Amino acid sequence: MKDKEYVVDTVNSIVQDADLDKCSEHETDPLGDSSFHDVMRAVVRMRALQIRCASREASIMHLKDCLESEANALKKFKESSQTLGQEVIDLKAKLSGMTLQTNELAKENTNLKSEVAVLHEHMDK
């Protein structure tokens, strides 16, 4: 029992998860003033805390992974919305240019119609 780490490792290998609740059922009187019982109780309590911490650590890691995944999805969404926003701006500019061209073509068409009408009148005379 001089090597504390050996004792703790030995007790950890003996104590199972199913033993955690059973430890509190026993009284110390039958064991006398043995400090080994106190060490065992302390190790069992430490093991219970270790199990709870491992469980919570796993939950925290899962939540962290979920947050990272959502952050990546949000980043991709922002990038795609910026790209779409730029495309909308480009299409509006293109539409404006096309509208101007359509108006110019309509004026030219009106001019050509009037010239054709004048030519028809001139030919009919």
Could you tell me the pLDDT band of residue 15, with boundaries at 50, 70 and 90? low
Structural domains in the chain (count)? 1
Per the CB < 8 A criterion, the answer to whether 48 and 15 are in contact is no
Structural domain of 57: 4-124
The percent of residues above 90 in pLDDT, for the chain, comes to 45
Write down the pLDDT at residue 13. 66
Read off the pLDDT band of 1 (50, 70, 90). Answer: very low
Q: Tens digits of per-residue pLDDT, 60-70?
A: 999 999 999 99
- For 71-106, what is each residue's pLDDT tens digit? 999 999 999 999 999 999 999 999 999 999 999 999
Residue 123: C-alpha distances to residues 10, 41, 108, 117, 120 (Å): 118, 119, 22, 10, 5
> What pLDDT, on the 0 to 100 scale, is given for residue 23?
52
